[in-house]
Amino acid sequence: MRMQSHPQLTHRSPGGFTLIEVVLALALTVVLMAAILSALELNRRLVMTGREEIERARIARAVFQRISRDLRSVTFRVDTIAAEEDGAVVDSADPAAAAGEDSESTTEEEPEEDEATVIGAVDPESSLLAASGGLTGSTDALVMQICRPPRLNYRLSGANGGTSQVSELQSVSYFVASPGAGGLAGAVGDARAEVGLSRLSGDRLAIEQADVEGNLGLLANATEVLAPEITAVYFRYFDGAGWVEAWDSSVTRNLPAAVEVTFVFEAEDQSIETTGFSLDTDESWRGVIALPLAGAYAAEAVTEVTP
């Protein structure tokens, strides 16, 4: 009897991946996706940062050009009345001369008492020189008196039959409006409910009258918020030897040779703050404006003050 041999069946493992291979594949996929997402996020940040820097530079240049145009239109005349008074004080130091002048004045000036009451006897040029204009500023505010002829609009003048008269002498101020602050900056900030570099401009006499009366509402209505993105501004003034943080043309009797303007923009990761800012951050923009007429006014002051 022959034994029939049965073929041996070989058990083959089914095709597939092991658990370790699946885990490794998933891990590599996660790492690859994370790398792709990181690259996309980095690209987005670079694009947004570039756009933000371009936008800030555009805003800073536009505001800087406007301030430059106003500064180069500043009008200023040396007060000759003060110089004459200084010379009179120096001359009065001589007792003999003072005594002689007093004796002559008592005999000659008595008949002229009636003429002193005549209305209009004041020289109009002297009254203009009493308010010589110029520039007054600190680190956070700038006030200037400018002279700019108004533009004529012939289309409107032909339709209306005339043009509205606008004064050439204007008062222009730059400051940062902030809600809750004092003075005009607080009034503008409360009225507009925003922080930003602001510009007040208008007729010189009207602005001075409103300032004397303390009419902050009128001044706030005439103020324009130029750049809400600029949350702080810093001014410095060059006197020919160094930079100073305050300037008053009525005291220095001239204009600064240059004005440095620094704009500070709001950072995305911090709240709006107008105090305690740093000028050495990426959110700042700086420029210098030269005043070519400063030397001419300084020479005028020297020639008129010298006896």
- Where residue 254 falls among pLDDT bands split at 50, 70, 90? confident
Q: Is the pLDDT confidence value at 25 over 50?
A: yes
Domain count of the chain? 1
Domain presence at residue 156: no
Domain presence at residue 201: yes
Domain presence at residue 113: no
Domain presence at residue 61: yes
Domain that holds residue 172: 52-87+124-150+164-305
Stretch 8-18: mean pLDDT: 62
Between 237 and 210, whose confidence is greater? 237
Residue 28 pLDDT: 94
Which tens digits make up the pLDDT trace of 66-115?
999 999 888 887 654 444 445 544 444 454 444 444 444 444 444 444 43
Lowest mean pLDDT: which of 8-22, 200-214, 248-262?
8-22
- The pTM is what? 0.65
Average pLDDT, the chain: 73
Domain presence at residue 103: no
Residue 122 pLDDT: 35
Domain presence at residue 63: yes
Between 179 and 34, whose confidence is greater? 34
- Where residue 49 falls among pLDDT bands split at 50, 70, 90? confident
Residue 2 pLDDT: 58
Q: What percent of the chain has pLDDT over 90?
A: 26
- Where residue 197 falls among pLDDT bands split at 50, 70, 90? very high
- Whether 226 and 197 have beta carbons less than 8 Å apart is answered as yes
Domain presence at residue 299: yes
Query: For residue 11, how many other CB atoms are within 10 A of its CB?
Result: 4
Label each residue of the chain as H, E or C: CCCCCCCCCCCCCCCCCCHHHHHHHHHHHHHHHHHHHHHHHHHHHHHHHHHHHHHHHHHHHHHHHHHHHHHCCECECCCHHHHHHHHHHHHCCCHHHHHHHHHHHHHHCHHHHCHHHCCCCCCHHHHHHHCCECEEECCCEEEEEEECCCCCCHHHHHHHCCCCCCCCEEEEEEEEECCCCCHHHHHHHHHHCCCEEEEEEEEHHHHHHHHHHCCHHHHHHCEEEEECCEEEEEEEEECCCCEECCEEHHHHCCCCCEEEEEEEECCCCCCCCCCCCCCCCCCEEEEEEECCCHHHHHHHHHHHHCC
Domain presence at residue 39: no
The C-alpha atoms of residue 61 and residue 285 are separated, in whole angstroms, by: 9
